[in-house]
Structure 1
C-alpha cells in the first residue's frame, strides 16, 4: 500500500476487506484510510502511540495504556483489522477476542486473577479499595465456576461473555 500519503487502489481496498473478513464496505475502508492518514502525521505508514493519544476519546479511556500496547505501530491493514471488532457485523467471538487481549497484557494466551484485578484497578481507580476489588472478583469468578488460582483462556472468556449481549460498536462516518 506504499506510504500513507498515496492513494488506495481497488486492489488495496479489496485486500483490506479480505483481511478484515469483509466487515467494512469499500466506502468505509476509504473513509478509514483518510482517518488513518490524518493520524499518521509523519506519513510513516503506521500509527505510533503518541499519534493514537492525539484522539481525545482514546486518550481519556481508562484502558488507554493497555490499548496502546495493542495498537502502537499498526499499519493500515492492521488498523482496520483492530477496528473490525467494533463493527456491528463482527461476531461476538471477534469482540470477545479483543477484550481478551486487553486483559492478557503479557500476551501469554491466558488471563490470571491478577490480570483481571489490574484491569479493574485501571477502570475503577481509587473509587474502591484493592481489598474490595479482590472480594468482588473472587465472588464473580466463583459464580462463574472459577477460583482465584484459575487461568482463563479465550474459550473461557467466550463461555462467560458469549451470552451477555455484548455491545461494542463504532460507526464509520462515510463522506
Structure 2
C-alpha cells in the first residue's frame, strides 16, 4: 500500500485494521481513506508536512511542528497507525507512547528536563517565563522522585504524566 490505489479492497481494509491493532472499524478505515485522499493533493500515496498543515486542528495545535516530524511522508497505513493513538479504543499506554515520542525531541528514547522545558514553552508561549516553567517542572519532577538531571524513559514518563487524565481522542465521521 505504498502508493494509494484508487479504491480500497476488503483485503486492504483488513490489512490496515491489523496494522492499527483493530482500533478502527472497517467503516472508519474507509472514512479515513477518503480523508487521506483529500489531503494527498499530489496523489502520490504520501502526505507531506504542508498537506498536514491544511488541517485546521493540526495547524492550530501548539505542538504541530513536533508532530510534523512524526507525520511527514506517511503512507495510508502509517497514517491510520499514527491516528490510532487518538482512537477511543486506544489504551492509556498507547496514548502515552505517542506523547512520549512528541516530548522525546532528539528521538533517543529518553526525555530530559530541557525537552520538557521546550514542550512547555510551546504550550505556554509568553504566558509563562522561563523561570516559572523551570519551577513548575522542577516541582513536578521532585514530587515524582526525579530531579532536573534525570532522563526519563517511557515508564518514568508514564509514571509522572500518565495520571493526568488527559483526553486524547478524535472522532472519525462515518458516512
Counterpart contact for 2:3–2:75, Cα < 8 Å: no
TM-score normalized by structure 1?
0.97
Aligned to 1:34: 34
Aligned pair 1:11/2:11, yes or no?
yes
Residue aligning to 1:112: 112
- Say how many residue pairs are matched: 175
Mapped to 1, the partners of 2:141 and 2:112 lie a distance apart of 11
Report the Cα distance in structure 2 between the residues aligned to 1:105 and 1:29, rounded to whole angstroms: 30
Confirm whether residue 95 of structure 1 aligns to residue 83 of structure 2.
no
Question: How far did residue 5 of structure 1 move?
Answer: 5.0
CA contact (8 A) 2:23 2:84 kept: yes
Quick one: structure 1 residues 89 and 152, their matched pair in 2 at CA, closer, same or farther if it must change by over 3 Å?
same
* Runs of 4 or more above 6 Å deviation: none
Q: Secondary structure at the match of 1:74?
A: coil
Quote the offset at 1:12 in angstroms: 0.6
Distance 2:62 2:162 in 1: 24
Contact 2:4 2:45 in 1 (8 A): yes
Q: Distance in 2 between matches of 1:158 and 1:87?
A: 19
The CA deviation at 1:158 is 2.0
5+ residue gaps, structure 1, are: none
Is 1:142 aligned to 2:142, yes or no? yes
SS at match of 1:47: coil
